[in-house]
Amino acid sequence: MARLAVTMALALAACGQPPAQATDGDAQAGRSLIARFDCGVCHTIPGIAGARGKVGPSLDGFAERAYIAGSLPNRPRVLMDWVRRAPEMAPNTAMPPFPFTDREALDVAAYLYTLR
């Protein structure tokens, strides 16, 4: 129940945001974070050398993806939380939490939204 509440709150918070592709993050900084954390071990990510992971979903065309992890609306705020606290949002996920700062999460999201 508590989890549902979190999800709802996040979803509501997202409603007031500008469209996804207009995030303020620095996509290039996000790209180097993705490379440094080797997100490509699990995900196929266009634009990242060697990111051909097949553990999780491919992030090709992520900007146009409707749901994150098949359950969460794809909004910048949700995404920023997802990359930091995925297990709290979807307890069964294999995706671990990552210790990104707010700024870093914003940058990572910015890069992912460049993937059309």
What are the residues binding another protein (CB under 8 A)? Answer: 35-42, 49-50, 52-55, 87, 91-98
* 11 vs 35 by CB, closer to another protein: 35
Residue 10: CB minimum distance to another protein, A: 20
* 16-23-5 Cα angle (round to 5): 45
Residue 109: CB minimum distance to another protein, A: 16
* 4 vs 36 by CB, closer to another protein: 36
- Residue pair 87/95 in contact (Cβ under 8 Å)? The answer is yes
Residue 21: CB minimum distance to another protein, A: 25
- Residue pair 38/55 in contact (Cβ under 8 Å)? The answer is no
Residue 49: CB minimum distance to another protein, A: 4
* 37 vs 58 by CB, closer to another protein: 37
- Residue pair 107/25 in contact (Cβ under 8 Å)? The answer is yes
Sign of the alpha-carbon dihedral angle for 96, 36, 82, 94: negative
